[in-house]
Amino acid sequence: MGFPETFKALSDPARREILTMLRSGRMSAGEIASKFDMTAATVSYHLKQLKQADLIYETREKNFIYYSLNTSVFEELMMWFAQFADHKKEVSHEESPSQ
């Protein structure tokens, strides 16, 4: 997926909270849902949005589905953001008067 889907998925506070929870390791949908005051269908919707943005992936084991972070997408985002930090340093050096 591209950045538009990623940023749309990240725009929701509940989805950002799910991502934060998954930092500590994989979780089942039931474990994720137990942390929220929302219906299972709503949690499922948020998980679907995160999967469509490739921010998480699922692994099926017997009767359970586990969700985990897709760190490669986060790495790609970090590299994209980093270009702006580098640009700011370059601009400040160019604007500095040399003596």
Half-sphere exposure (CA, 13 Å, Cβ side) for 95? 6
Cβ neighbours of residue 52 closer than 8 Å, sequence gap 6 or more: 1, 5, 9
Nearest 5 degrees, angle CA 13-CA 14-CA 17? 90
Q: Residue 83: pLDDT band by 50, 70, 90 thresholds?
A: confident
The type of residue at 73 is V
pLDDT of residue 90: 57
Question: How many CB atoms neighbour CB 96 within 10 A?
Answer: 8
Whether 9 contacts 15, CB under 8 Å: yes
| Percent residues over pLDDT 90 in the chain | 53
**Domains delineated in the chain:** 3-70 (1.10.10.10)
pLDDT digits (tens, 9 = 90+) for 2-42: 778 888 898 999 999 999 999 999 999 999 999 999 998 99
Residue 86 pLDDT class (50, 70, 90 cuts): low
- Write down the pLDDT at residue 68: 96
Checking if the pLDDT of 62 tops 70, the result is yes
